[in-house]
Structure 1
Amino acid sequence: MNSSSGRRDAEAWLRRYGWSPERDIGTEADELIRKAQEQAVECGISWSPSEYAHTFVKNYGGLKILLHESPENHFFADPGFPYKGGAEEIEELSRELGERVFPLGYDSYDGAVMVVDEKGRFFVVHHTGNYYLADDSLQALWNFKKGDVQDAEDFHV
């Protein structure tokens, strides 16, 4: 975060939706991850979650977080992808980064999917392109909300 007040703002926003730094959904995270893996297999793709993906799902999994009120847009912290072709787009980003990525959730407005790679970098796969969010989950969600992104091409191998 750029400042401690920015971090406090992000934490206050997420707390309204049931998040806390201590949140841990335990074995439910494994079930959510397994469902995302099964969804990928249906598309002929195999995903393995990194420690960063597993930690994110344990801490945020199952939350519905309001990103914007008009039009109403939520981030669903539900690993997987919401539309046909999503797995292929996620795999394409993985190839471009030279790192495995795992989907963490998506927005309800246009189906943008947040992913994390094996280095702990968070990106968003969007119909307009792929974007880097942050190296920290809290900052990544805050940047997703604010639309503060960087072109993912800057991270391609």
Structure 2
Amino acid sequence: MRYPTTRQEAEAWFRRYGWSPERDIGAEADVLIRKAQEQAADDGVTLTPSEHARAFVRNYGGLKIFFRESPENYFVAKPELPFEGDAEEIKELSEALGEELFPLGYDTYDGAALLVDGRGRYFLLHHTGNYYLADDALQAVLNFLRGDTQDAEDFYA
């Protein structure tokens, strides 16, 4: 299976999973964001969503976007922390970048978490390291699916 290479192909790809540019889950986004904040608070970490985080959750929240049509491996667009200790790792990466990050979703294969900072830069928290994905939500999810990343250290403050 070939992943999309143009924005038009990417939009068509994501529409298959229920996404559209005008999609808005409304108040449900606030509930999802609060749950993520509560989960982080249980680990002693405060996570504050930026407007970029809120916009992403409103537009993508609740979607499942499959990797290579594999039923056991997909991206879940929910701001949850899949592993214990993720909140602390997000805080550490936030400090290194000089920008607060907020979780947006994760993959079900290895729990890699998609994050966004207050400047609209999207990052990936992964057990192999931290990575930059893009400055655009659609491109970030697409790069996540394709594994097209750049070392997050290149963006440290």
TM range (shorter): over 0.9
Aligned-residue sequence identity (percent) comes to: 67
Q: Distance in 2 between matches of 1:45 and 1:72?
A: 30
TM-score by length of 1: 0.94
2:57 corresponding residue in structure 1: 57
Q: Distance in 1 between matches of 2:156 and 2:119?
A: 13
1:145 corresponding residue in structure 2: 145
Q: Distance in 1 between matches of 2:86 and 2:111?
A: 9
2:83 corresponding residue in structure 1: 83
Q: Distance in 2 between matches of 1:14 and 1:39?
A: 28
Amino acid at match of 2:128: T
TM-score by length of 2: 0.94
Q: How many residues align?
A: 154
Deviations 1:46-96 (A, max 9, x none): 111000000000000011110234583110001021011111111111011
2:129 aligned with 1:124: no
Q: Distance in 2 between matches of 1:63 and 1:89?
A: 24
Measure how far apart 1:40 and its partner are.
0.4
- Assess, with a 3 A threshold, how the Cα gap between structure 1 residues 153 and 71 changes in structure 2: closer, same or farther: farther
Provide runs of 4+ in structure 1 moved above 4 Å: none
Q: Distance in 1 between matches of 2:41 and 2:154?
A: 29
Q: Distance in 1 between matches of 2:29 and 2:70?
A: 30
Unaligned runs of 5+ in 2: none
The CA RMSD measured in Å over matched residues stands at 1.4
Structure 2 counterpart SS, 1:68: coil
